[in-house]
A and B are shown apart, each in its own frame.
Chain A
Amino acid sequence: MRAAGLVLLVLVGALFFYSSAELPPTGDPGSPPATHVSPRYIEAAYKETGTINLVTAVLADYRGYDTLGETVVIFTAGIAAILILAGLAERREEP
């Protein structure tokens, strides 16, 4: 088990180190994440949403669906935890 885990680790690590050469260097202003959609967010966010904090503008306005789903996810997690643990406390009270 431990040996298999270590082999998997080495394989995944080799994959990472091999593929990291293709990633843009840290802080490159011309990298793909910095050139496609984010300039629009930075330049137009205040005009379009009235919010100075760009992260809030993206989070709640441009990407509202993401945050909507995510709020539902945490609510679901709370309900799921309640359902998983339902009855656990009562059962312990028994002598």
Chain B
Amino acid sequence: MAPDGLIGHLNYWAIALLFLLGLYGMTVLNNLVKKLMSMNIMQVSIIMFYLNLAQKAGGTFPVLLPGELHPEAAAYVNPLPHALMLTAIVVSLATTGVALALLMRIYRRYGTLEENDILRRMAGR
């Protein structure tokens, strides 16, 4: 039985809180590494949102049970969001790697990763 009403939406609220945590970090924090970590938290919340949409009450994980040649759609959770989020995880790896490389470059140039100091140095140059 799928829960309905408030209980059925608690997951969405928790995921929204996680997203807002990441958004807060990206907008308010001053350190660029912390901003990057906040971006990763946002990505994780999006991934959890999609996986939450994939759930079906009474469904098992999307690998066919042995000997099941004519599976019913209701018996397995939705495999599509899992595949898409597998892609998203690897893309988040790629963005994180490139962002770290850029941060190393920025640190080399300005000697700091605090946004205020970087902006001040850019203006003073």
Q: A9-B20, A29-B58, A88-B105 are in contact. Are A59 and B83 (CB under 8 A)?
A: yes
Is the Cβ of B20 less than 8 Å from the Cβ of A16?
Answer: yes
Is the Cβ of B12 less than 8 Å from the Cβ of A20?
Answer: yes
Q: Which residues of chain A come closer than 8 Å to B37, judged between CB atoms?
A: none
Q: Which residues of chain B come closer than 8 Å to A16, judged between CB atoms?
A: 12-13, 16, 19-20
Is the Cβ of B79 less than 8 Å from the Cβ of A54?
Answer: yes
Question: What is the total number of residues of chain A having a CB less than 8 Å from a CB of chain B?
Answer: 53
Report B99 CB to chain A, min CB distance, Å: 9
Is the Cβ of B76 less than 8 Å from the Cβ of A9?
Answer: no
CB < 8 Å A-B pair total:
169
Closest to A4 in B: B27
Closest to B105 in A: A84
Report A93 CB to chain B, min CB distance, Å: 14
Residue from A26, A46, A78 in contact with B64 in the complex, judged by beta carbons closer than 8 Å = A46
Within 8 A of A (CB), among B53-89: 53-59, 62-64, 68-76, 78-84, 86-87
Q: A8-B27, A88-B104 are in contact. Are A46 and B71 (CB under 8 A)?
A: yes
Q: Which residues of chain A come closer than 8 Å to B16, judged between CB atoms?
A: 13, 16-17, 20
B23 at the interface (CB under 8 A from A): yes
Q: A38-B73, A81-B97 are in contact. Are A33 and B53 (CB under 8 A)?
A: yes
Q: Which residues of B contact A (CB under 8 A)?
A: 2-5, 7-13, 16, 19-20, 23-24, 27-28, 52-59, 62-64, 68-76, 78-84, 86-87, 90-91, 93-95, 97-98, 100-102, 104-105, 108
Q: Which residues of A contact B (CB under 8 A)?
A: 1-2, 4-6, 8-9, 12-13, 16-17, 20-21, 23-29, 31, 33-34, 37-39, 41-43, 45-47, 52-55, 57-59, 63, 66-67, 70, 73-74, 76-78, 80-81, 84-85, 88
| Selected A-B contacts with CB under 8 Å, 20 pairs | A5-B24, A6-B28, A8-B27, A9-B27, A16-B13, A17-B16, A20-B12, A23-B9, A27-B8, A31-B53, A34-B73, A41-B80, A42-B76, A43-B70, A43-B72, A57-B79, A63-B84, A74-B94, A78-B97, A80-B98
